């Protein structure tokens, strides 16, 4: 993810980014923005590109198992983040307020539409 952002940023200097993932992909997103996860660490998006990342979205993020969210774990990306953890989703700790759809419900519970609206708002505001 970090390499893709770097190469795209170099080729397209006016591009803004919305990044994110579901489940393991959310962990990859965490690593890309510099949050240590149970998977360890990896390459992060360079600090100079952080202003071009306008939104960070996570669905079923395992970071929740450790009592964290992107908002609490990253002062840089937290204000730009939106996370979904359904009640009953044991992958992210299941403490969310969404309906009890569990880990497989994000595609049909309205979360994707909420994420798209958030990304559009973030792009417009930046």
pLDDT at position 106 is 93
pLDDT at position 95 is 62
Q: Enumerate the β-bridge partners of residue 21.
A: 58
Q: Which two structure tokens, joined as six digits, stand for 120?
A: 């559009």
What percentage of the chain carries pLDDT values higher than 90? Answer: 77
Catalytic, 75? Answer: no
Query: For the residues 2-30, what does the mean pLDDT come to?
Result: 96
Catalytic, 89? Answer: yes
Q: What's phi and psi for 22, nearest 5 deg?
A: -120, 130
pLDDT at position 51 is 97
What's the predicted TM-score (pTM) here? 0.92
What percentage of the chain carries pLDDT values higher than 70? Answer: 95
Catalytic, 74? Answer: no
23, 74, 81, 111: the catalytic one is 23
Lowest mean pLDDT among 18-22, 37-41, 63-67, 113-117: 37-41
2, 89, 109, 111: the catalytic one is 89
Q: Which of 42, 53, 41 is nearest to 9 (CA)?
A: 53
Check residues 40 and 68 and name the one with the higher pLDDT: 68
Whether 18 shows a pLDDT value over 70: the answer reads: yes
User: What domains appear along the chain, each with residue ranges and CATH number?
Assistant: 2-125 (3.40.50.1820)
């Amino acid at each position: 993810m970090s390499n893709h952002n770097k190469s795209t940023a170099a080729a397209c200097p006016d591009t803004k980014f919305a990044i994110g993932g579901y489940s393991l992909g959310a962990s990859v997103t965490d690593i890309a923005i510099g949050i240590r996860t149970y998977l360890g660490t990896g390459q992060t998006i360079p600090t100079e590109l952080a202003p071009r990342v306008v939104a960070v979205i996570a669905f079923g993020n395992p970071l929740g198992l450790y009592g964290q969210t992107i908002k609490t774990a990253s002062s840089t990306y937290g204000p730009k983040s939106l996370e979904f953890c359904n009640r009953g989703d044991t992958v992210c700790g299941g403490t969310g307020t969404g309906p009890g759809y569990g880990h497989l419900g994000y595609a049909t519970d309205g979360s994707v539409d909420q994420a798209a609206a958030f990304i559009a708002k973030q792009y417009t505001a930046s």
